[in-house]
Homo-oligomer: A and B are copies of this chain.
């Protein structure tokens, strides 16, 4: 069924479809069970681990766009899962934390995350998983977006 097209051996493509499949499956689970989007789930996870932090902290920790963080926080606040309190040290920002309801949900969603990770990693050794993580980190670092000048001056051996 799956043909051996050259495209199917192109590593960035394989990475993309695997990531989309995993993300799509996880998004489906969290939406069906708790009505959470992926950005919302990530904010819940970070707030559960780090406690009282600002949107700026969440942006740094999650590597998400600050707008994505802001919108996720707004939804969670409207649902009563997160509360904002004024930040005495900096009037521009607010301190965010889980409410009791948010902590209850956090206690529900984390075991599912760990279980899903365990499932998709089943059958691979610790060494293989470490190699896999190392490669993902390397791919991430080597693919950082550079500015336009660098692109123009770097012709990849073409022509």
Q: A145 near B46 (CB under 8 angstroms)?
A: no
Hey, what's the 0/1 contact readout for A8-37 against B, CB within 8 Å counting as 1? 011111111111111111101100100000
Q: B120 near A143 (CB under 8 angstroms)?
A: yes
| A42 close to B (CB within 8 Å) | yes
Q: A143 near B22 (CB under 8 angstroms)?
A: yes
In the assembled complex, the Cα of A113 lies from the Cα of B152 at a distance in Å of 16
| A67 close to B (CB within 8 Å) | no
| A144 close to B (CB within 8 Å) | yes
What residue in chain B is nearest A5 (Cβ atoms)?
Answer: B61
Q: A145 near B6 (CB under 8 angstroms)?
A: no
Residues in B whose Cβ lies below 8 Å from that of A21: 139-140, 143-145
